[in-house]
Amino acid sequence: MREDTGPHQVAVIPGDGIGPEVIEAALAVLRATGVPLEFQRYQAGDECLEKQGTALPPETLAGALAAEAVLFGAVGKTAAEVILRLRRELNTFVNLRPTRAFPGVDCLYPELKLVIVRENTEGLYSGLEDEITPGVVTATRVITQAASQRIARFAFEYALRNGFGQVTAIHKANVLQKSDGLFLRAARAVAAEYPQIEYQEALVDSTAMNLVLRPERFQILLTPNLFGDILSDLAAGLVGGLGLCPSANLGDKHALFEPVHGSAPDIAGRNIANPTAAILCGAMLLRHFGELASAERVERALEQAIAAGQGTTDLGGSLSTTEMAQAVIGRMP
């Protein structure tokens, strides 16, 4: 619990490409809520590497560690050095990726709502790659009981608190018998403590197909690191694209909010990126601070704007990034 009543301290890392464009839009919406927030900006990413010789300067890391929350845009080629490192340093062991359709957006599943709860500290993203001899490279996939249990517990608690009745553990234990075997045993042990939540298991490859054919079978997908990364982009495709999907990296002490998408070099610098994911990150940040009413105001205004056709071109609209943010602000009560 915070003791002082000053503004919440938020570290803002806009990054590269469309990162700064969508983050500006999100900041405009956050300012319009009137919630006392203080934003401190930091550099990171490809451009930062060019200018400063490092993609994640020490002051950026220190700023992220000192802030109450981080709002992150996207970086380009330096993603591993920047975002993976930040997730590790902040020990944000959960990567929470809610995916939902918006009325008015042409997509495969206009009713879809599902949540990916992705383990965020280990798996194939442990940073353990090695060229053991020229022409042979290994990548170590680390799965631990402690991290698997911790992420499973988060998934079930999240289900309970948010009215979901089912959790599906995603795995490839038929091939990765030891590592995903351990992941599943941990998930089962936690599932046994939540008899009110239905628990199922599904192979990652058939899940990719089933998400396309019958996604309504799923509510919460509990995944190791890599599978969650891949399936969350697939899920984004079901509801109308990456421009719509926010994520939260959560730990015991730190929280970092970022769109699922990257720096989108193909559309960067043109003020046409969809700011929805970044604005939804802002709403998640407000919720994290306990500002539920403001978070809902933002989400309702965004829904209304999208439904009224006030969206960017990827949504079938004709607004620029900044115009869409203004349209959302204009609809905030």
| Residues found near ligand NAI in the complex (CB under 6 A) | 18, 22, 74-77, 79, 83, 242-243, 258, 261-267, 273-274, 277, 314
| Residue 194, Cβ density class (10 Å: 0-12 exposed, 13-18 middle, ≥19 buried) | middle
Min dist CB 59 to ligand NAI, Å, is 19
Q: Is 256 helix (H, G, I), strand (E, B) or coil?
A: strand
Task: Mark whether 77 is an active-site residue.
Answer: no
| Angle in degrees, CA 236, 108, 219, rounded to 5 | 60
Min dist CB 96 to ligand NAI, Å, is 14
Phi and psi angles of residue 38, each rounded to the nearest 5 degrees, phi first: -115, 120
Task: Mark whether 42 is an active-site residue.
Answer: no
| Cα gap 276→302, rounded to integer Å | 8
Task: Mark whether 4 is an active-site residue.
Answer: no
- Give whichever of 125 and 199 is closer to Mg ion, judged by the CB atom: 125
Strand-pairing partners, residue 258, are 247
Q: Which of 16, 46, 109, 125 is catalytic?
A: 125
- Give whichever of 89 and 314 is closer to ligand NAI, judged by the CB atom: 314
Q: Which of 51, 178, 205, 253 is catalytic?
A: 205
Residue number, nearest CB to ligand NAI: 262
* C-beta separation of 17 from 265 below 8 A: yes
Instruction: Give me the residues that bind Mg ion (CB under 5 A), please.
Output: 229
| Residue 195, Cβ density class (10 Å: 0-12 exposed, 13-18 middle, ≥19 buried) | exposed
* C-beta separation of 102 from 112 below 8 A: no
- Give whichever of 74 and 186 is closer to ligand NAI, judged by the CB atom: 74
β pairing state of 246-250 and 255-259: antiparallel
Q: Which of 113, 172, 194, 314 is catalytic?
A: 172
Residue number, nearest CB to Mg ion: 229
- Give whichever of 224 and 262 is closer to ligand NAI, judged by the CB atom: 262
| Cα gap 83→258, rounded to integer Å | 10
Task: Mark whether 113 is an active-site residue.
Answer: no
Task: Mark whether 199 is an active-site residue.
Answer: no
Min dist CB 88 to ligand NAI, Å, is 14
Question: Catalytic site residues?
Answer: 125, 172, 205, 229, 233
